[in-house]
């Protein structure tokens, strides 16, 4: 709440260092963004994402394409920004991250096959608690950048799950299993599934599984960041 109030009072300052933003800067100043561990190319990001998923799931979790813009490190400035985005009400930051991610996707080409964009949904009780879904705000930004429809109604979270934070790898895999349900209208669609951070991939795996069970023709993945192995 403190971060949200500060940014409402001082909307033209960086959410991290509090310095005034220059022309063309949004939410975070260029100096702070330079501290984020950005992938050199979309292909490099996709290769690391595939390796991360394969080492944990093998062929149990297959996806068509994958995009991440940053490597996520604990105690980093990126973690601070994502925390403010997720818990402090700075949903505009989520939209900015999403638009930038969408532009990053376009720089790597091959987004034409995506038919619609689906954010990883929150349970309705958690959405009431936070007032918004940060993944949906990220997806909004991507949708504007790549000019594809946002369709959150295609996937719902039918079961309340505890936060993945602090859980063991085994518990993280089990926690979201069976938590999602796809709408019948997803059948035959080529979907881009969006979340904020991919840590173990458990949430994405469960959501993608629900989409495939619903008849989705293909599922690709996009997230602001991929957790680094530390």
Binning pLDDT at 50, 70 and 90, where does residue 171 land?
Answer: low
Q: Report the DSSP pairing between strands 37-38 and 66-72.
A: antiparallel
Q: What pLDDT does 12 receive? A: 84
pLDDT at 107 over 60: yes
Greater model confidence, 169 or 66: 66
Mean pLDDT across the chain, nearest whole number?
88
pLDDT band of 108, cuts 50, 70, 90: confident
CATH code for the structural domain at 35-227: 3.40.50.2020
pLDDT value at residue 60: 83
**Which ranges in 69-200 belong to alpha helices (H)?**
77-87, 91-107, 124-130, 134-146, 169-174
Region 185-194 average pLDDT: 98
Model pTM?
0.89
State the average pLDDT over residues 170-189: 80
For the residues 7-15, what does the mean pLDDT come to?
69
Over residues 29-43, the mean pLDDT reads 95
| Least confident piece of the model among 25-29, 129-133, 134-138, 175-179 | 175-179
Q: Would you list the DSSP string of 41-74?
A: SHHHHHHHHHHHHHHHHGGGS--S-EEEEEEE-T
Nearest to 141, CA basis, from 166, 104, 174: 104
Residue 79 makes CB contacts below 8 A (sequence gap 6+) with: 72, 73
Q: Kindly list the domain boundaries of the chain, sorted by start residue.
A: 35-227
What was the pLDDT predicted at 164?
58
Helix (H, G, I), strand (E, B) or coil at 181: strand
pLDDT of 167 reads 52
Contact (Cβ atoms closer than 8 angstroms) between residue 105 and residue 69: no
């Amino acid at each position: 709440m403190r971060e949200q109030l500060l940014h409402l009072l001082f909307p033209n300052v960086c959410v991290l260092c509090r310095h005034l933003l220059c022309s063309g800067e949004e939410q975070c100043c260029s100096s702070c963004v330079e501290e984020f561990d950005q992938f050199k190319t979309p292909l490099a990001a996709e290769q690391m994402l595939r390796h991360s998923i394969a080492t944990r799931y093998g062929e149990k979790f297959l996806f068509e394409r994958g995009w991440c813009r940053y490597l996520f490190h604990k105690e980093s400035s990126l973690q601070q920004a994502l925390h403010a985005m997720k818990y402090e009400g700075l949903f505009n930051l989520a939209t900015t991250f999403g638009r930038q991610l969408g532009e990053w996707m376009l720089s790597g080409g091959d987004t034409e096959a995506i038919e619609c964009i689906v954010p990883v949904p929150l349970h309705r009780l958690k959405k009431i608690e936070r007032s918004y879904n940060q993944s949906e705000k990220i997806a909004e930004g991507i949708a504007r950048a790549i000019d594809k429809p946002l369709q959150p109604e295609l996937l719902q979270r039918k079961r309340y799950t505890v936060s993945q934070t602090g859980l063991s790898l085994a518990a993280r895999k089990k926690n979201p299993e069976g938590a999602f349900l796809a709408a019948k209208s997803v059948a035959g669609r080529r979907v881009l599934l969006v979340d904020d951070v991919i840590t173990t991939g458990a949430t994405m795996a469960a959501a993608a599984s629900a989409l495939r069970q619903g008849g989705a023709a293909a599922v690709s993945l996009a997230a602001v960041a991929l957790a680094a192995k530390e």
